[in-house]
Structure 1
Amino acid sequence: MEQGKSFWKRAYAGVAMLSMALIAGCDRGGGGEGSNSNSSSNGSSKAPKLAFVAGGANEFWKIAAAGVHKYEQEAKIQIDIKAPPNSTPEEQNRILESIVSEGYDAVAVSVLAPDAQVPVLNKLAEKAPLITMDSDSPNSNRLFYVGTNNYEAGKVLGNEIVKILPNGGKMAVFVGTFAVDNAAQRFKGIQDVVTAHNIQIVDKREDNVDRAKARSNVEDILNAHPDLNVATGLWSYNGPAIIAAVEALGKKGKVIPAVFDEEDATLSGIENGTVACTVVQKPFQFGYLASKWLHELATKGDAARAAIPPSKTIDTGVEVITKENVAAFKARLAEQKK
């Protein structure tokens, strides 16, 4: 699904701390002031300065960036995409602190530590309209959240696990950290469903976004629990880590991965029968809708704020991908990323 290095070269230009190469669809120059002269509703010819702060730099966020770029093309504006290279709150805080001083007109953030980052988020919200996407910080002064209802998404995956283990069984759960809101809510949703069906969660492990540890965690659990039935990954890279461990230890068909998100290896695992299912979010919609709201908040002010839903949540929904629909999903995904 690689589309060329130039896509992410544009997205990350002007962010010196982020030297990684990520994929995007066009190269129109770097961050800072938008180069397009887009008139706002108040008649100003100055382009709004908007920032989309991702939670990382994996395939999931490449898809979200495609949604950002789709809106950019439609609205003829530029949005600066920024991301912490190692998905740590410390890195993200440095990005947010920089944004505070750089005069942005509206900002969207996938929050990595919902409670710990409230002070820096509130400082940012004093300077510009702030929304969250993908991972919320409901105790902050953000205006609203765009993304998945992660508790309900967890319940969806929980119901798929019940289909895999209709007579009960044992499972383990893996993630970067349970401290992030989306991970905690997904886990709770899964737990609330499976425990009512005699399915025991025998262990859960954090890897702190260390890809090698993500795999070794799975290997450790598979060795410690030879009767394990299902391995669940809550973040996108956990799926490929589980697949690699299951295949390396000769557990294919014995331990069934049931995971989240649409990493290439996860979709391939569904095609070859290693993975039962993945619950995918709609990161393209995260990017597109967050960008649209940023633009309107920056240019329409109170009128845009008046349109915020009373729930302060825009739920983009989820989809279950299995062997029956994976080919169609991959084709649709490729089209979105063009």
Structure 2
Amino acid sequence: MNRKLSRAAAVTSSLLLAAALAGCGQEGGSTAAGGGKDKKKDGRPTVCLIMKSLGNEFFQTMQKGAEEHAKKLGTLDLKTSGIQNETDIDGQVAAINRCITDQADALVLAPADSRALVAPLGRAAKAGIKLVNIDVKLDDGALKAAKLDVPFVGPDNAEGSRLSGEVLAKKLGKGGKVVILEGNPGAANAQQRKAGYERAAKDGGLTVVESKTAHWETDEAYTVLSNMLTAHPDIQGVMSSNDSMTLGAVKAIGAAGRKGKVVVASFDNIAAVKPYLKDGQVVSTVDQFAAKQAADGIDVALKAVDGGRSGAWVKTDVKVVTGADAG
């Protein structure tokens, strides 16, 4: 009798151990290379779109365009999110972690920082999530170190800012003095736009008397440019790396009594700058087609989910916009 009880206990113990191991295997599969994910009954993949600050009109346009594109396709579940401000890296890390927890199929990211977001993306890749980089290029060295191959869907930021700066150079003529308002130093597009402006200044014979970051933000740009105008009362132009900073720059120029004497070249073509394009305070901006960029990123993500591959850089369009185009 005792022998029978002993055998029964052993069988029960084995069954419990097998069940525990099976449970661990299922959990591990959900964070492996995608093989352990349960297929949805409707077969629709989930795509996360993580953007920068939704207080920026550019990303509001991107979000709207992405949602319209997803609705038109009707073949995916799209989850969009943004962050509180342009430097809220922790907010993007948290959003990536939510995508991992939700077992998303793909993640499309416009990173706030080109290096800091690579590690959390690595965790997403290990969870079997397909990755697509839009808007701001992730750092190639950081990607290589993390052994990640992430396609970039986005514009040539250096060429766009060069073209915008070229309009300003023609307006001011050789010898004109300008300053540059830079974006977030950790973002590749900030560095690229600064480089494009510097190229335009050199080619057009302009003198860059100061260059400083305002982290893409309107209020900070107002403060930074106000100080520049005080330090350099003879400047004639501002090369602003995005339209949000341009709004602060225009306000600073007005407050300093320099309206009509200092003009701005910009980047992004949000609706809020159109009045300033019309009245000549902003001589140029660059449309990088936020809605289409998001749609293209989603298409690349869906292709990856289906097992396809895209090129390392899927280049999107840029177009210079001037007062003549502002309607």
SS at the partner of 1:82? strand
Q: Of the candidates 211, 214, 218, which is equivalent to residue 218 of structure 2?
A: 211
Moved more, 127-136 or 173-182: 173-182
8 A Cα contact 2:134 2:152, kept in partner: yes
Q: Which has the larger radius of gyration?
A: 2
User: How far off is 1:52 after superposition?
Assistant: 0.5
List alignment gaps of at least 5 residues for structure 2: 1-38
Aligned to 2:132: 131
SS at the partner of 1:260? coil
Superposed, which structure 2 residues align to 1:151-162 within 5 Å? 151-162=158-169
Aligned to 1:190: 197
Aligned to 1:261: 268
The one-letter code sitting in structure 2 at the alignment partner of 1:178 is: P
8 A Cα contact 1:115 1:137, kept in partner: yes
Aligned to 1:313: 313
Aligned to 2:78: 79
Q: In structure 2, what is the Cα distance between the partners aligned to 1:233 and 1:142?
A: 32
List alignment gaps of at least 5 residues for structure 1: 1-41, 328-338
User: How far off is 1:260 after superposition?
Assistant: 0.9
Q: In structure 2, what is the Cα distance between the partners aligned to 1:204 and 1:125?
A: 37
| Pairing 1:168–2:175 present | yes
SS at the partner of 1:135? coil
**C-alpha RMSD over aligned residues:** 1.9
Aligned to 2:12: none
User: How far off is 1:43 after superposition?
Assistant: 9.9
Aligned to 2:91: 91
Q: In structure 1, what is the Cα distance between the partners aligned to 2:243 and 2:281?
A: 16
Q: In structure 2, what is the Cα distance between the partners aligned to 1:125 and 1:162?
A: 45
8 A Cα contact 1:53 1:107, kept in partner: yes
SS at the partner of 1:226? coil
Q: In structure 2, what is the Cα distance between the partners aligned to 1:181 and 1:55?
A: 14
Q: In structure 2, what is the Cα distance between the partners aligned to 1:177 and 1:170?
A: 23
**Shift >6 Å, 4+ stretches:** none
8 A Cα contact 1:66 1:287, kept in partner: no
User: How far off is 1:209 after superposition?
Assistant: 4.9
Q: So what's the TM-score if we normalise by structure 1? A: 0.78
* CA pair 274-43 structure 1, distance change in 2 beyond 3 A: closer
Q: In structure 1, what is the Cα distance between the partners aligned to 2:157 and 2:139?
A: 13
8 A Cα contact 1:239 1:263, kept in partner: no
8 A Cα contact 1:161 1:258, kept in partner: yes
SS at the partner of 2:324? coil
SS at the partner of 1:54? strand
Q: In structure 2, what is the Cα distance between the partners aligned to 1:235 and 1:90?
A: 22
Superposed, which structure 2 residues align to 1:1-338 within 5 Å? 45-57=42-54, 58-76=56-74, 77-87=76-86, 88-127=88-127, 128-139=129-140, 140=143, 141-298=148-305, 300-301=306-307, 304-305=308-309, 308-309=310-311, 312-327=312-327
Q: In structure 1, what is the Cα distance between the partners aligned to 2:270 and 2:250?
A: 11
Identity %: 22
The one-letter code sitting in structure 2 at the alignment partner of 1:130 is: L
User: How far off is 1:164 after superposition?
Assistant: 1.7
